[in-house]
Structure 1
Amino acid sequence: MKNILIILSFVLSFTSCIDVNNVINPGDKPIVEAYLAPNHTVSMKVFTEIPYSETDSTFSVPISGLSITIKNLSGASFTLTESETKGTYVSTAKLGAAGQTYSMSFVHNGRTVSATTILPVKPVGFKMSVSEIERIYRDLSSGFQSGGGPGGPPQGGGFQQEARVNIDLSWTNPDEIYHFVAAQYLETTLSPIVQFPTNETGFTRPARRFTNRPIKTSTSNLQSQQFEYFGRYAIILYRLNPDYAALYENDNTSSQNLVTPVSTIENGLGIFTGVNADTLILNVKKQVL
């Protein structure tokens, strides 16, 4: 009986050691961010996790010194090299065509971090209802001016009403694959539709890029008022893998509802996924008053 108890105690102790060794403590998992596109090089960011228990002053920091391998199902592989930006790893080699499967792996804190994704095909039949819109230039550099006197034209746009234009987007999607739309300002120099006062204190300059949420339908639309600069915009339709869309469906984490974000990365967090895209050009012109 004594021998049985000794053996049982040994087994329980051994099992306990295994459980402890397999536990990943908060903050131990690296966060990965990589979007793989067919026939393009790879760029992948890796940074530290911030545990829920940490204070608001704690920041995620890049993880340097990793050796990250990318390979496909045929066994062909290459290693990512850390760029001048710490925690960002890039390749010189390009990925293959759509439909191929790629995996990545590296070692962090003694554990192998890995993930696999497929490169989706390009969106089909992408169309846009208009290729050009007009917006009214509004000059607030000297403060808001409602008009230039009785019967005169508004100065800098003033209260001049502007027609809202729907920009209808459509594509072929019989299998209800996830897509999302992004608008990216292409001009090197900003040409704001609303010119802020010389002292921009209290004003936030609009972003050069904005996006819609992923959807399974075959249509979407943008509004003319969403575009804040004159010039050319790339209207990009992305075809997604389900893991990317899942991040949006799981975005309700808050201090009152602490939920670990969904991730398909083994021993890590974040996103390692394939994307493909088609692009149309929208020109935003200044309306002549």
Structure 2
Amino acid sequence: MKSHYQYIPLLSIMIGFIILSSCEKVEVATADADVAVVEAYLHPDHEILIHITHQLVYQSSDTLIKPVEGLTITVTSPDTMVVCIADSAGYYRAPIIPLEGLVYNMEFTYNQGTVSASTSIPLKPSNYEASGTSIIVGTIGGEPGSGDPPTQPTPLTLTWDNDDLSYFMVVTENIETNPEPIFDTAEVIPFRVFRNTPDRTNTQDLNPGSFYYLGHHRIILYHLNPEYAQLYDDNGSSSLNLAKPPSNIINGLGVFTGINSDTLFVLVKEE
């Protein structure tokens, strides 16, 4: 069964441990705590929500993310211009639904400078299909005493169209109210979400060993722009060499990017 339900917060959750995040501290010698960090994912099923925070500086005394409030943010497209509505804690909402194929621009004044970014809304993934509606976890062996080696369960193969070699990313989430772990997790509670890195491909195998819970899962295929995919690139950063994170924000950090998606549902069960 296929659904058009989209779960954009998963993108923010996934990016939280990547260098994009405003939680990431930047080397104190080169960083400025007054640099604005932008995080916005424009999806054609939702109004535009933009989050603005201050940059955290590596080895500084600050440990909390501070929102940037009181901004006047404009969002424009070829036929629209709106001023964002301030919500709370650095969140700003543009009361428009972005459309596939259009370019959207964001701009605001901060510290006597102009912070801006531009992105386009990619097309919805087409012909997104799975090789089955369920996946079996656990090792399947031969008859006891037969000497036959155990065989691994068959992976679930996802396919979609990608004639122009766009970036895609698969995010899988258990959606049970009280999910049942596949293994004993008394000491460590595993994540209910996992994902692959963005890739220019048209297929992805989900191996049974990647799942930690039984029950129903949604498998979201995101069509991404390059500015999001670049966040996953290895930039050589380490505790000795903290490089500036990739960003498409002019005079700022973070990402302002268009996305689109489709969703399939599968059942994970034991043999």
The TM tier, using the shorter chain, reads 0.7 to 0.9
SS of aligned partner of 1:181? strand
* 1:36 matches 2:25: no
Equivalent pair of 2:136/2:153 in contact (CA under 8 Å):
no
Q: In the alignment, which residue of structure 2 is the partner of 1:126?
A: 128
- The one-letter code matched in structure 1 to 2:91 is T
Q: Deviations over 1:120-139 (max 9, x none)?
A: 10112212112102335xxx
Q: In the alignment, which residue of structure 2 is the partner of 1:104?
A: 106
SS of aligned partner of 1:70? strand
Query: Number of paired residues?
Result: 232
Equivalent pair of 2:124/2:223 in contact (CA under 8 Å):
yes
Q: Choose which of 273, 276, 289 in structure 1 pairs with 2:260.
A: 276
Structure 2 unaligned residues grouped into runs of 5+: 1-29, 139-143, 145-149
User: In structure 2, do the counterparts of structure 1 residues 187 and 89 end up closer, same or farther at CA, with 3 Å as the change threshold?
Assistant: farther
SS of aligned partner of 2:231? helix
**Offset at 1:262?**
1.5
* Alignment TM-score, normalising by the size of structure 2: 0.78
CA distance, structure 2, for counterparts of residue 111 and residue 65 of structure 1: 15
Q: Choose which of 60, 84, 95 in structure 1 pairs with 2:65.
A: 60
Equivalent pair of 2:235/2:243 in contact (CA under 8 Å):
no
Q: Choose which of 77, 83, 87 in structure 1 pairs with 2:81.
A: 77
More helix by share: 1
Alignment of 1:116-265 (within 5 A): 116-135=118-137, 163-197=152-186, 203-265=187-249
* Alignment TM-score, normalising by the size of structure 1: 0.73
Structure 1 unaligned residues grouped into runs of 5+: 1-23, 137-150, 152-160, 198-202
Aligned-residue CA RMSD (Å): 2.3
Q: Deviations over 1:222-271 (max 9, x none)?
A: 11121112221111111111111111124532212221112111111000
CA distance, structure 2, for counterparts of residue 235 and residue 262 of structure 1: 27
**Offset at 1:274?**
0.3
User: In structure 2, do the counterparts of structure 1 residues 89 and 258 end up closer, same or farther at CA, with 3 Å as the change threshold?
Assistant: same
Equivalent pair of 1:166/1:221 in contact (CA under 8 Å):
yes
CA distance, structure 2, for counterparts of residue 282 and residue 124 of structure 1: 19
* 1:90 matches 2:96: no
Alignment of 1:10-21 (within 5 A): none
Q: Percent identity?
A: 36
Equivalent pair of 1:135/1:162 in contact (CA under 8 Å):
no
Q: Larger RCO: Structure 1 or Structure 2 (Cα < 8 Å, ≥ 6 residues apart)? A: 2
Moved over 4 A (4+): none
User: In structure 2, do the counterparts of structure 1 residues 129 and 251 end up closer, same or farther at CA, with 3 Å as the change threshold?
Assistant: farther
Equivalent pair of 1:35/1:43 in contact (CA under 8 Å):
yes
SS of aligned partner of 1:235? strand
Q: Deviations over 1:94-141 (max 9, x none)?
A: 22x2001111111222212110100010112212112102335xxxxx
Equivalent pair of 1:169/1:221 in contact (CA under 8 Å):
yes
Give the number of the structure whose alpha-carbon radius of gyration is greater: 1
